[in-house]
Amino acid sequence: MKCPYCNEADTKVIDSRPAEDNSSIRRRRQCERCGKRFTTYEKLETMPLMVIKKDNSREAYDRSKIEAGIIQSCHKRPVSTQQINSVIDEIENRVFNMEEKEVPTSVIGELVMDKLKELDEVAYVRFASVYREFKDVNTFMEELAKLLKQ
Ligand SMILES: [Zn+2]
């Protein structure tokens, strides 16, 4: 991407995030030569993010799936829609900043758990129990004990 000020070809990306309409990626770039900053928008169609599922199949990244999982985990918890949205924004920012075309669901799942741990412990345990597919009560209790020790 050329610098619009001095035409230098080498510019570096300092920040990437989904644009408001979620159909494009907004990038802040800085020119290596003149140091000026500018913003570019890239259509998601040109770089769709694919998610690699556990069975190795792929599907297009879908914000509403993460949202549904988090809303479910936060059921009847003192967590606002605003908080949930900003958690998802932070997760998306991390994921899009990896600049990978494919990201395993496990990476996204871990990010969600990290964020929920800070937000609400009950929501975290609920999400983790579904996500890690706790086979029995003991695994669940182990996870809970780990959490309580912190
Ligand atoms: Zn420049």
Distance (Å) from CA 35 to ligand 1 centroid: 6
CB atoms within 10 A of CB 90: 14
Distance (Å) from CA 7 to ligand 1 centroid: 6
pLDDT(6) > 90: yes
pLDDT(79) > 70: yes
SS3 assignment, position 74: coil
Distance (Å) from CA 37 to ligand 1 centroid: 8
Higher pLDDT, 120 or 143: 120
Task: Tell me the β-bridge partners of 84.
Answer: none
Which of 15-24, 78-87, 131-140 shows the highest mean pLDDT? Answer: 78-87
- DSSP-based helix, strand, coil % in the chain, nearest 5: 45, 20, 30
Distance (Å) from CA 40 to ligand 1 centroid: 14
Distance CA 130, CA 140 (A): 10
Distance (Å) from CA 14 to ligand 1 centroid: 15
